Homo-oligomer: A and B are copies of this chain.
Amino acid sequence: MILCDVGNTSVDLYRNGKRTKHSADTFDPFSISEEVYFISVNAAFDRRVAGLVNWHDLRECVVWTKYYPTMGIDRIAACEAIEEGVVVDAGSAITVDVMRGGAYQGGFIALGLRAAQEAYGRLSPALDVSWNFEVDLAKMAKNTPDAVTAGFLAPLIAQIQSLGKPVHLCGGDAKMLSRFFPDAVVDEELVFKGMKKLIEKGRVC
């Protein structure tokens, strides 16, 4: 059994505990003959696998009444992995979702670190600075790199901290953010764990 997480630009395969990443544009779904359970936020990819009997879309296993119709399936998969706490998936966007007793409480979507840095750069050459990830967020900034870095990170991190514990971090920038959450669990396989749970729960799907 292969698990597959399809984003807008990449295809992330999980087979026997090992991950491989491929370009979403060039990856050929016909190249896999085993059973594949996938989630996808990529409509073009969905069309390519639509006729393949060994590709199973885990959307069909989701109890959608727990969530909301336009919620990203990757966020849902990460939420399904836990019963309790805050999920922070720090990728191109930073999604933050809260689960209590297995019930979805809601969440919010911030810009990803790269998207935010690019947006500052577009505003003005003066704000197109390297971020200082060593910045002390408890202090008021008195230089531009700190003012920009803290301007994005300090509000976001305080807001996440206000949501309670435990905090589960996943996504490409999880390690970068973990320095601001000393008690957080960094789990880069959170989405795949949630996918496994969806498969186990949803034997009907």
Q: Which A positions have Cβ atoms within 8 angstroms of B?
A: 8, 41, 67-68, 70-72, 92-93, 96, 98, 105-112, 115-116, 118-120, 122-124, 126-127, 139-144, 147-148, 150-152, 154-156, 158-159, 162
A71 and chain B: residue at smallest CB distance = B144
The CA of A53 and the CA of B182, in the complex, are separated in Å by: 58
**Contact status of A109 and B92, CB under 8 A, knowing A119-B119, A155-B156, A158-B155:** no
Q: Which of B71, B110, B112, B123 contacts A115 (CB 8 A)?
A: B123
Q: Contacts of A41 on B, CB cut-off 8 Å?
A: 124, 126
Question: Can you name 15 A-B pairs with beta carbons within 8 Å?
Answer: A68-B142, A68-B143, A70-B126, A70-B143, A92-B124, A93-B127, A96-B151, A106-B142, A107-B140, A108-B140, A109-B120, A109-B127, A109-B144, A111-B120, A155-B159
A140→B92 contact, CB < 8 A: no
Task: State the CA gap A154–B72 with chains docked (Å).
Answer: 21
- Docked-complex contact A109 and B140, CB < 8 angstroms: no
- Apart from A68-B143, A109-B148, A158-B159, list 9 A-B contacts with CB within 8 A: A8-B124, A93-B120, A93-B127, A107-B140, A108-B140, A110-B151, A115-B119, A155-B155, A158-B162
Nearest CB of B to A118, in Å: 7
Is there contact, CB below 8 Å, between A98 and B155? Answer: no
Across the interface, name the chain B residue whose C-beta is closest to A7. Answer: B124
Task: Tell me the minimal C-beta distance from A91 to chain B in angstroms.
Answer: 10
**What residues of B have a CB within 8 angstroms of the CB of A158 in the complex?**
155, 158-159, 162
**Known A-B contacts A98-B140, A119-B118, A143-B70; A108 and B150 likewise in contact (beta carbons under 8 Å):** yes
Known: A70-B144, A142-B68, A144-B70. A111 touches B123 (CB 8 A): yes
| Known contacts A68-B142, A127-B93; is-contact A111 B106 (Cβ 8 Å) | no
